[in-house]
Each structure stands twice: as C-alpha cells, then as structure tokens.
Chains A and B, each alone.
Chain A
Amino acid sequence: GQNIDQPTEMTATEGAIVQINCTYQTSGFNGLFWYQQHAGEAPTFLSYNVLDGLEEKGRFSSFLSRSKGYSYLLLKELQMKDSASYLCAVRDGDYKLSFGAGTTVTVRA
C-alpha cells in the first residue's frame, strides 16, 4: 500500500513564500506529482519529479529526494488566487497514482 503524508492546512500572506512538505512510502516509484485543486473542481497539474533535485516552473518549484521519500512544493510571490488545496501524488510501480489528503493553503491580504 501507499502512505503519503502532508500537512492539513497552511496560511500565508499575499506576496510571501510557502513550502508544502510531502513524505511518502510506496511500493515502487515512478514519479511524484503536485496538483492544485480548487473547491468543487478537478485537480490541475503543477509539477512532476522523477529524479532527485529541484524543478522550477515560474512561481512554483518542486523538490524530490527519493532516498528520503520526501518532496516539497514551493509557492513564491503568493497571490490570492493561490488559495486552494495542494495534492501530493505518487505514481507507483503499476503506474497508479496515490494521493495525499491535500494541504489547504489560505492566502491572506
């Protein structure tokens, strides 16, 4: 089975930086994904890591350490529209995605 942990909630101020951590234990590993999900909507793809290191994509960056079973999503220059749930998902040896419970980020003015 899969075990994916991430914090339940985080609050930050507009313009600030927030880091969302994700730890995982899976049977097989074929990549780690981060998704953004607004209430009542489907997840939208943010980033993908399969090798160790940092992937940067505009205001969003994601880091992976496979040996530690650890990833983080970094959101810079926070905007009000970034208020959403952020899901960490691991793809296992069978190429199935297992999702964490999600981290609700609230951006305050």
Chain B
Amino acid sequence: GAVVSQHPSWVICKSGTSVKIECRSLDFQATTMFWYRQFPKQSLMLMATSNEGSKATYEQGVEKDKFLINHASLTLSTLTVTSAHPEDSSFYICSVTYEREYEQYFGPGTRLTVT
C-alpha cells in the first residue's frame, strides 16, 4: 500500500489559535485527498474532499471558513483549524487515493487538543 505521513502527530494549542496539519503522499501522486475527524469512541466522519489545484468540497455541517484546506500539489494537502476551540479537540486523519475509484490509504492521524 501507499505511504502517507501526517505532521504533527499530536499538537496542543490554546483556544483561539490556529493549527496547521500536513498530509503527505510519499510514494505516489495523489489526485484526491480526504480529511476525516474522529471523536473518542466514535467512527471516522468525512470532513472534506480535496483535489489538487481546486477548492475542497466540504461535507454538510463542516464550516469551510473554520477548516481551511489547501491541496497545493499532488503530494501535499494541509488542513488548518482556525480559531480553535476545545470542541475541536479530535483525531484528524487524512487519506489519499490515486484515482477516486481506487483504494484510500490512510495517514497515521494527528491528535489535536485545544485547551
């Protein structure tokens, strides 16, 4: 399978600050990247779908101005949580795919804690 990295693996920030999470596809060019959020003891919820060079498509209920997604290249997508609040504390996971019909490969996740 593909190798996907996320940075940082965990981060603690103060309420009101912004945090950027990077997702990198290390061994192939990913045309599509997905961002998920997972709260404790719950399943993964898709936040947005990101295609290289175009605006991300957000799922219903996800604020696009709060969760900024940039897919600047075929190997890098970033998620910025702006003006973070304690309720944004969660496990954020990205996945990548070569083409949408193909399997998704997941990154190791980023644990965000907002104090």
Which A residues fall within an 8 A CB radius of B?
30, 33, 40-45, 48, 87, 95-102
Q: List 7 A-B contacts (CB under 8 A).
A: A30-B101, A40-B111, A42-B107, A42-B109, A45-B1, A96-B46, A98-B46
Which B residues lie within 8 Å of A44 (CB)?
A: 106
The secondary-structure label for the interface of chain B is loop
Are B101's CB and A48's CB within 8 A? Answer: no
Which B residues lie within 8 Å of A101 (CB)?
A: 42-43
How many A-B residue pairs have C-beta atoms within 8 angstroms? Tell me: 39
**In-complex Cβ contact of A42 among B42, B93, B101 (8 A):** B93
Residue B29 CB within 8 A of the other chain: no
Residue B75 CB within 8 A of the other chain: no
Nearest 8 Cβ contacts at the A-B interface: A95-B100, A99-B43, A42-B106, A101-B43, A99-B44, A42-B109, A42-B108, A102-B43
* Max chain A C-beta neighbours (<10 A), residue from B43, B105, B107, B108: B43
Residue B18 CB within 8 A of the other chain: no
Which A residues lie within 8 Å of B49 (CB)?
A: 96
Given contacts A40-B91, A99-B44, A100-B43, 12 further A-B contacts (CB under 8 A): A40-B111, A42-B106, A43-B44, A43-B106, A45-B103, A45-B105, A87-B44, A95-B101, A96-B34, A97-B104, A101-B43, A102-B43
Number of interface residues of B (CB under 8 A): 20
A96 to B33: give the CA distance in the assembly, Å.
11
**In-complex Cβ contact of A87 among B43, B46, B91, B108 (8 A):** B43
A48 to B103: give the CA distance in the assembly, Å.
9
Which B residues lie within 8 Å of A99 (CB)?
A: 43-45
Which B residues lie within 8 Å of A41 (CB)?
A: 108-109
A44 to B104: give the CA distance in the assembly, Å.
10
Shortest Cβ gap from B5 to chain A (Å): 11
Which A residues lie within 8 Å of B108 (CB)?
A: 41-42
A45 to B34: give the CA distance in the assembly, Å.
16
Q: Mark B35-65, 1 if CB is under 8 A from A, else 0.
A: 0000000111110010000000000000000
